[in-house]
Structure 1
Amino acid sequence: MKDNKFVRGRIKSVSYSFIGAYRLVTSEHSIIVQFFIGLAVTAAGFYFDISATEWMLQTLAIGMVMAIEGANTAVEKICDFIHPDFNPKIGFIKDIASGAVFFAAVAAIVIGAIIYYPKVAMLF
């Protein structure tokens, strides 16, 4: 029976999102690593008392990397489900999805360097 109530439907959608995020963070090694890097950078933000703008950029960078990594994981799972054996076309698709994560990670590293290099340099 389909639930046609708008609010109930949105609550269900959010609960599915939380379940998906939990599954992602507890089962995928790359996301687990990125999650802890995000926590470490967040702790650094408190330590260095970064500005509101820096917090926004840092939060955006962390969210961007984790979201694209989640999409990459979904693409890989779908590819493995559709064609579990090696296939060059599936490999190409997986490489492209992984490349998207690479771009996001490089952008996040640049943002982190812009925020933290001057602060760390002041310590020495």
Structure 2
Amino acid sequence: MKNPNDGFLKGRIRSIKFAVKGMWLLITTEDSIKAQLTFALIAVFLGFCFNISATEWIVQVLAIGVVLVAEALNTAIEKVADFIHPNYHKKIGFIKDIAAGAPAFAALVSLIIAGVIYLPKIIAIL
């Protein structure tokens, strides 16, 4: 919550603290984020192993970021839905299923990007 007594700089620092706290909560409590971070670390490791170009690094990092953002937003939507209606409800289930589609789309696109980056390098080795 914004403190009306905070100046611009103090307000930005508070915002950064909340953002870091949110990232920490995601990393320490959500299995989906842990799984995506594991895949991200594998992709970074492969990037170093295959010496990918700067452009490929940019695309890979953006893909990783989009997946993590989608997972975070999906988690937030699920937490709000569970807070509003803790018991099973058909409409809440529908909303949560749609929200789960976002990281699924992002993960699918990131797999395609990984294929574009790494398959030619793997084929060249074989």
Name the TM-score class by shorter chain: over 0.9
Q: Deviations over 1:43-102 (max 9, x none)?
A: 111111111110110000000000010000000000111101000000000011011111
Give the distance between the partners of 2:24 and 2:5, measured in 1 at CA: 24
TM-score, normalised via structure 1 length: 0.96
Q: 1:94 aligns with which of 72, 96, 100?
A: 96
Q: 2:66 aligns with which of 64, 67, 75?
A: 64
TM-score, normalised via structure 2 length: 0.94
Matched residue type, 2:111: I
Matched residue type, 1:28: E
Instruction: Report the identity percentage.
Output: 47
Q: 1:78 aligns with which of 80, 84, 98?
A: 80
Which ranges in structure 2 are unaligned for 5 or more consecutive residues? Answer: none
RMSD: 1.0
* Preserved contact between residue 3 and residue 9 of structure 1 (Cα < 8 Å): no
Residue 9 (structure 1) aligns with: 11
In the TM superposition, 1:15-30 aligns within 5 A as: 15-30=17-32
TM-superposed deviation, 1:4 = 2.6
TM-superposed deviation, 1:3 = 3.5
Which ranges in structure 1 are unaligned for 5 or more consecutive residues? Answer: none
Q: Size of the alignment, in residue pairs? A: 124
Regions of 4+ moved over 2 Å:
1-4
